[in-house]
Structure 1
């Protein structure tokens, strides 16, 4: 029987690419959006979901289980970007980012676990970020939320192994999506001490997304993981230099690595 896949944030960007690719491979794919009525042309069904609201998570999972009886694969893809000087980002925006990027995936995981445990199988893939491996200037909150999801994946993975449930994560680099449009930007203030450095970083980030790789690459990685009996703990997907930056962080003294990042961001 064809496996059922639930992709949060499956209405656009990386999630949409994954959903279309996996649908074409014959899987029963369901995506999610806070406003599913906007996506009537999707080739796979879009369910209503706001990952920051427990009631919405519960309703989404219950709705899907009533349709399919099983959720074989959960892909926690929904996420939001955030940029700004840590001194100037409103605390409410920091908390909102963690609600979406960290607590939301945890809520989804916990909602699907009872059914996966009952069927003694399941695969959960958390979409994190290469940015989660390092504290990046003006992207510190995003780095922290994605880094937290990386670590929680490691802990969950060990707790779930006795039940036949696999968990892994994919850390993408820069991909060509609409994430820049939905990212929260702390206002670039004329009187800010960070006006020059933060402004330059914003231009750099948008250029990277515009020049990013094809999201289909990630979809193919997901498909490959689904065919793997024992998935690895971490997968990094992106340009060579982005992946190599993680290796450098492990090998170089901290202050050397910091100097490289500061040079890259022109600080």
Structure 2
């Protein structure tokens, strides 16, 4: 019997790439979307899910368990982007980002754990971001949400290991997806003291996404993790310099590393 996999945010981008790839490999895959009816092309079924709604989360998990009998792997992929000077980012947008990128994945984990504990087996893969390893200018809130999920994973994997449940993070760098289109951008205000540097950084970030790698690399890494008997705590997927930037942060003095980031973003 094939493993049953639930991928949140499976209607586009990295999530769809993961779902398509795992379906090709013979897994039973369910994706999720807030509006499944709007997705016309998918190699795997989509279940309605809003990760900011507790009832929606419970209904999604119950539907997958009812249809497939179990959930072997949860891939917490659903997320939102957010950019802007923190001073000028509306509070409700900050809350929304944390609700989707941190509280939502935690709620999904809570919903699947009773089923995995009953099975004495399960794997939870949290899709974070290389941006979560550093405070990036004009992406500070996004970095904070993803960095927090990394730490939550580090803690929870020790809490659930006695149940036969494994947990890991996989942090992507820049990939060619539609994330920039759905990202919240704090508006470029003409009279803002941040206007010039924020506008310049925003343009650079969008270029990075447009020139990003093929998301199939994420799908291949997720497949590798699923097939690994004892997954590592952290995985990174991206261009060499993106992954190397994490190493540099560990090696360099704080202010030297900050200077490198500032130079990179021309700040």
> With structure 2 as the length reference, what TM-score do the two structures score?
0.99
| Alignment partner, residue 61 of structure 1 | 61
| Alignment partner, residue 223 of structure 2 | 223
Shift of 1:40: 3.0
Q: Deviations over 1:2-49 (max 9, x none)?
A: 000000000000000000000000000000000000113211000000
| Alignment partner, residue 133 of structure 2 | 133
| Alignment partner, residue 151 of structure 1 | 151
The 5-angstrom pairing of residues 25-40 of structure 1 reads: 25-40=25-40
Q: Secondary structure at the match of 1:87?
A: helix
Q: Secondary structure at the match of 2:2?
A: coil
The 5-angstrom pairing of residues 90-101 of structure 1 reads: 90-101=90-101
Q: Secondary structure at the match of 2:86?
A: coil
Distance across 1 between alignment mates of 2:226 and 2:64: 20
Q: Secondary structure at the match of 1:124?
A: strand
Distance across 2 between alignment mates of 1:18 and 1:260: 33
| Alignment partner, residue 70 of structure 1 | 70
Distance across 1 between alignment mates of 2:51 and 2:63: 15
Query: Which runs of no fewer than 5 residues in structure 2 stay unpaired?
Result: none
Answer with 61-70 or 188-197: which moved more. Answer: 61-70
Q: Deviations over 1:122-161 (max 9, x none)?
A: 0000000000000000000000000000000000100011
Q: Secondary structure at the match of 2:26?
A: coil
| Alignment partner, residue 241 of structure 1 | 241
Distance across 2 between alignment mates of 1:230 and 1:43: 29
Q: Deviations over 1:222-259 (max 9, x none)?
A: 11111110000000110000000000000000000001
Shift of 1:69: 1.2
| Alignment partner, residue 5 of structure 1 | 5
> With structure 1 as the length reference, what TM-score do the two structures score?
0.99
Q: Would you say 1:18 and 2:18 are equivalent positions?
A: yes
Distance across 2 between alignment mates of 1:220 and 1:258: 32
| Alignment partner, residue 203 of structure 2 | 203
| Alignment partner, residue 258 of structure 1 | 258
- The number of equivalent residue pairs is 267
Distance across 2 between alignment mates of 1:146 and 1:123: 19
